[in-house]
Amino acid sequence: SPCIRLVHIRDNKPSKAVSMTYTIGTKNIAPQPALLIRRRVKPSEIAATLAELFGRIFVHIQNNGGTISGQPFMRYIEWGPGLLTIEAGLPVASAIPGDGDIVMDSLPGGLVATTTHIGPYELLSQAHAAVQVWIHENGHQPAGSPWEVYVTDPADYPDPKDWKTDVFWPLAS
């Protein structure tokens, strides 16, 4: 089960020790069907919330004969200093009926700005900041909610320096 034991920590304090460099580019991606759950959380609650939600979605997919077709993701619907509205989800090969707060949706297709963050989750805000600045400096316009795809599972890669997270920001064509 991919990243079911994911630990996600968001620390809004600037890091004194590490400054990351990112390679940012654009690509066209296909829409990806996904089961997801939306929640409004404090930044300090992200880790526990994702662990709970990924587990619930995984069990729902298994119980309904579905097939996971990619890595877990979290999409930022609303990003504020006190509360975040997030969607935690797992991509699926084909549509599966939802149940309660588990809903069938999709990650959007189209043009995105993207980069890969390597390292601990508490430094992911640096990747988002770099992409946001790159979008502005390259004359693009954001066109939707950004998301993170957790490429590596901390259960398989216990050292945070080995964690890989892809960051996507939808762009206006």
For the cut 90, the answer to whether the pLDDT of residue 17 exceeds it is no
CB 88 within 8 A of CB 55: no
Confidence of residue 18 (pLDDT cuts 50, 70, 90): low
Question: Per DSSP, what are the bridge partners of residue 40?
Answer: 85
Flag whether pLDDT at 166 surpasses 80: yes
Per residue in 88-98, pLDDT (tens digit) is 999 999 999 99
**Torsion angle of C-alpha atoms 33, 39, 40, 43, degrees rounded to 10:** -80
How many C-beta atoms lie closer than 10 Å to residue 58's C-beta?
Answer: 19
Instruction: Describe the chain by its helix, strand, coil percentages, rounded to 5.
Output: 25, 35, 40
Please state the pTM of the whole predicted model: 0.88
Average of per-residue pLDDT across 159-169 = 97
Q: Say yes or no to pLDDT of 4 above 50.
A: no
